[in-house]
Amino acid sequence: MSSLRAHVYRIPADGPDDVAGVEALFAGGLAVKNVVAVLGKTEGNGCVNDFSRGYATRSFEDLFHRHGVDGVSTVMSGGTEGALSPHWTIFTRETVEAPGERALAIGASRTPVLPTHHLGRRQQVLLVADGVRMAMRDAGIDDPADVHFVQIKCPLLTSRRISEAEAAGATVATRDTLKSMGLSRGASALGVAVALGEVDEAEIADADIGIRFDLFSNCASTSAGVELIDHEIIVLGMSSQWSGPFAIDHAVMENAIDAHSVRRARERLPENSRLAAVLAKAEPDPSGKIGGKRHTMLDDSDISGTRHARAFVGGVLAGVFGITDLYVSGGAEHQGPPGGGPVAIIVEKET
């Protein structure tokens, strides 16, 4: 009897073009054709002009091209503020001769190109929802309750894209390129919520995106970038069609200091297991307070609030897990409750 088996590797990076550690994996016997996805934390500013993401993406595209492999999902999240360490998380899958035993499952998909004037609007929500369902099928996950994390790389607006849309007679959701990142992240997250049955698509109107934060997904992690015009989607969960030592669970931080929920999720996983990866979302609480105390993330004119949030939540999670190579992505619109966000924990059980 055969099943699918996943492996997860966390590799340090000295820069956006440093793929030497991944090359070493290949030299050590890892089959390049088994790589499904790469999640990266790069050391740019995480904003519109963070070209470290595109640099890293191109570096991996060149790497896979040298090995004759195409179609690997490469999702880069910019910003390693505080003590967050730049790194790559490599996800692989292969078919093995072993019965399924409920283990980590990985699925991936890409959506069609998103028309510029649909960004941040209901059409983006529905497009992403279809893409998430496709990735779930690819992962062999039938029950949305078995999904623990959905990572999406989504597009943003640039001045050129806005001009081209307006020249064609279309109206964009915003002419503020930085704001477009939040709208795209939010619409993509609501697409996850629709696909997983967390929110009814009939509840969502254009005006709700980026406004009605009572609508959210407990599993969505979305990151906007200039380096694409479609959506790359990676679904992580548990499935009985898979086998092997890896398992995943997730928590939803109610606010940026909610380490308790994260610890409880870790306790649900096998006690004698090695930490393989931590994937998280962070944002400055829009209320202006954390735990009843005022924060100044949203008042800083020099540094984007998402950069503050990555550093702050990164520090909280580093204190919980004792590592700094954490995938902490900033901007959690509709990704968990306001000021909070989902955190996925992947472990490798002892064999």
Catalytic residues: 153, 223
Q: What DSSP state is assigned to residue 217? A: B
- The response to whether 44 counts as a known ligand-binding position is no
Block residue for tokens 């934060």: 213
Residue 106 falls in which region: left (phi positive, over 0), alpha (psi -120 to 50) or beta: beta
- The response to whether 336 counts as a known ligand-binding position is yes
Using alpha carbons, list the distances in angstroms from residue 66 to 37, 52, 69, 318.
Answer: 17, 21, 8, 36
Residue 335 half-sphere exposure, CB side, CA atoms within 13 Å?
Answer: 36
- The response to whether 53 counts as a known ligand-binding position is yes
- The response to whether 27 counts as a known ligand-binding position is no
- The response to whether 182 counts as a known ligand-binding position is no
- β partners of residue 151: 221, 234
Alpha-carbon span 211 to 274, nearest angstrom: 39
- The response to whether 223 counts as a known ligand-binding position is yes
Structure tokens that stand for 342 in this block = 């989902």
- The response to whether 124 counts as a known ligand-binding position is no
**CB-based contact 53:44 (threshold 8 Å):** yes
- The response to whether 335 counts as a known ligand-binding position is yes
**CB-based contact 134:128 (threshold 8 Å):** no
Alpha-carbon span 268 to 264, nearest angstrom: 6
Q: What DSSP state is assigned to residue 61? A: H
As a whole number of angstroms, the longest Cα–Cα distance in the chain is 60
Going 50 to 51 to 56 to 58, the CA torsion angle's sign is positive
Alpha-carbon span 261 to 248, nearest angstrom: 15
- The response to whether 102 counts as a known ligand-binding position is no
Binding-site entries for substrate: 53, 77-78, 185, 223-224, 310, 329-330
Binding-site entries for Mg(2+): 283, 332, 335-337, 340
Binding-site entries: 53, 77-78, 185, 223-224, 283, 310, 329-330, 332, 335-337, 340
